[in-house]
Amino acid sequence: MRGPGATLAALRDLDALSAREAPLARLDPRAPLLVTLLVSLLAASFPRGEVLALLPFLAWPASLAGLAAVPVRPILRALLVPLPFVLLAALPALVVEPGAEGQAIAASVLLRFLLTATSALLLAAVWGLPALAWAMERLGAPAVLVTQLLVLWRYLFVLGEEGLRMDRARSMRSFGPRGRELALAGPFLGTLLLRSQERAERIDRALRARAFTGRFPALREWRFGPGAAAVLLGWAAALALFRLVNVPAALGRLILGGA
């Protein structure tokens, strides 16, 4: 499967992973969400060409994947969706600053993307977006933003499937490359927009008929207990150490000095 169909399948596989009863999912999602936010902020604080000092931060997504036994393939498929845009941001560094400096900047951009995107995808795969939305609201995020995020995530599959049905119908009524000309992209997207608007209106009427108040009820409530506090404090201390000390360089000096 290629194109939009592959993208939709990757997102659907990621959403299906959160339906598993992983023991790690019993942890209050506020703790891993805060750790992931801290990882992203600290990774962004490094100089633009830093690569080596960022490597220890990969311990966070690696620990999530290992403890929750998340399959690698769905995460890799989901990472391929935004990868072209990241490459567009990283490759100009090779032209603007040729040589080792440009290579270091491009590698740093890709590593930061890998670190932050993988961490976010693993959160969605282990806890699921509804649990993360609950955590965001408990941490002070505006309720309207959380509701829009949940609606956008669910409606993304509806809109994607509608586009796939239209593309399948166009393929069945055409031969070879006919029907896929660039000039027909405008009418195709316009029709998709009208259909999505009609579907959105039907969804809105269905929600109102069910007394929707603008907020989705939480399917589960978590308690921020000692386990969540230990995870948050332990990883915060480790991440602060990774930021203050270049761990790979320090280990290299220790090994070389001992040798």
Q: For the segment 102-113, what is each residue's pLDDT rounded down to a tens digit?
A: 889 999 999 999
* Mean pLDDT over the full length of the chain: 83
Q: What is the pLDDT of residue 20?
A: 76
pLDDT of residue 2 exceeding 60, the answer is no
Q: What is the pLDDT of residue 107?
A: 92
pTM across the whole model: 0.81
pLDDT of residue 1 exceeding 60, the answer is no
Distance CA 58, CA 103 (A): 20
Confidence of residue 156 (pLDDT cuts 50, 70, 90): confident
Q: Tell me if 60 sits within 8 A of 119, measured CB to CB.
A: yes
Q: What is the pLDDT of residue 3?
A: 52
Q: What is the pLDDT of residue 69?
A: 87
Distance CA 191, CA 167 (A): 11
pLDDT of residue 72 exceeding 90, the answer is no
pLDDT of residue 209 exceeding 80, the answer is yes
Q: Tell me if 36 sits within 8 A of 135, measured CB to CB.
A: no
Confidence of residue 198 (pLDDT cuts 50, 70, 90): confident
Confidence of residue 244 (pLDDT cuts 50, 70, 90): very high
Q: Tell me if 75 sits within 8 A of 65, measured CB to CB.
A: yes
With helix as H, strand as E and coil as C, how does the chain read?
CCCHHHHHHHHHHHHHHCCCCCHHHHCCCHHHHHHHHHHHHHHHCCCCCCCHHHHHHHHHHHHHHHHHCCCHHHHHHHHCCCHHHHHHHHCHHHHHCCCHHHHHHHHHHHHHHHHHHHHHHHHHHHCCHHHHHHHHHHCCCCHHHHHHHHHHHHHHHHHHHHHHHHHHHHHHCCCCCCCCCHHHHHHHHHHHHHHHHHHHHHHHHHHHHCCCCCCCCCCCCCCCCHHHHHHHHHHHHHHHHHHHCCHHHHHHHHHHHHC
